[in-house]
Structures are given as C-alpha cells and as structure tokens.
Amino acid sequence: MQARVKWVEGLTFLGESASGHQVVMDGNSGDKAPSPMEMVLMAAGGCSAIDVVSILQKGRNDVATCEVKLNSGRREDAPRIFTNINLHFIVSGKALSDKAVARAVDLSADKYCSVAIMLGKGVTITHSYEVIDTL
C-alpha cells in the first residue's frame, strides 16, 4: 500500500491514496479540515463499521443503519497519543438481535478491524453497542 501527502499552505496538507482518492488534513486543530489524529480516530470507526455491517449482512440480517460514536482520551504532553478509545455502535434493523450485533462487534474487535487492532497494541480500546428494532 502506498500514499502521499503534499503540503498545500500553512498547516494544510492533501493526502492521496494509491487508488487516487484525496483527503485534506489540517494541523491547526482542525481549522480547515480534520487533523491527522481525527483521521486516525475516524479510520478506526470506519474500519470497524465496515466489518460490522458486512458481518451482519452476510448473516442475512436486515440492517437499516449503522453509526459508530467514538470517544477518546489523549495524553496531555507530547506526543499526544491516544490513551483510550471507545467505539459505540448504534445499529438498527428489522428483527435484528442483540446476539447478532454483539457477535459482529466482537469479530470486528478481535479478528477483522486492522486499524483498531493495530491501535490496540498501545491504546486501550473498548466497544459497546445498542440495537434499535425498526420493525
């Protein structure tokens, strides 16, 4: 996997993936775009959400929505690394069982989400979820 990051102006940078997708990042506390640390946090949520939806769909569950709310703590001093991250999933669907969502979240956390598993080597990562039945 390859990527590049190019300085635009001030502390604004443009990242480009090998697949040609671009994203703006800002080092000024997210003034113009997400900061790199915000991008890492969103990457953990995105990676895990993709797993959860995919696992539920493969299990023939009727998933209507999936949202991940991420809360994190960081060190006060440099380097301001994450100390803890909680991924809270809110999943809705027709006749969606707690057991199915719990299994999908656990599989993502323990086996599939490369981003969260990688971060978990130095960060305490927790997961929680709620299921909303859309009848």
Confidence of residue 31 (pLDDT cuts 50, 70, 90): confident
Q: Token pair of 81, please?
A: 């690394």
Is residue 57 scored above 90 in pLDDT? yes
Pick the CATH number of 36-133 from 1.10.760.10, 3.40.50.620, 3.30.300.20, 3.20.20.100: 3.30.300.20
- C-alpha to C-alpha distances, 14 to 40, 46, 47, 128, nearest whole angstrom: 15, 20, 21, 33
pLDDT, residue 104, reads 98
Is residue 29 scored above 80 in pLDDT? no
Average the pLDDT over 76-86 and give the result.
97
Domain ranges of the chain: 1-34, 36-133
pLDDT, residue 80, reads 95
Model pTM score: 0.93
pLDDT, residue 46, reads 98
pLDDT tens profile 82-112: 999 999 999 999 999 999 999 999 999 999 9
Confidence of residue 43 (pLDDT cuts 50, 70, 90): very high
- DSSP per-residue string spanning the chain: --EEEEEEETTEEEEEETTS-EEEEETTTTSSS--HHHHHHHHHHHHHHHHHHHHHHHTT-EEEEEEEEEEEEE-SSSS--EEEEEEEEEEEEET--HHHHHHHHHHIIIII-HHHHHHTTTSEEEEEEEEEE--
Pick the CATH number of 1-34 from 3.30.300.20, 3.40.50.800, 2.20.25.10, 3.30.980.10: 2.20.25.10
The percent of residues above 70 in pLDDT, for the chain, comes to 99
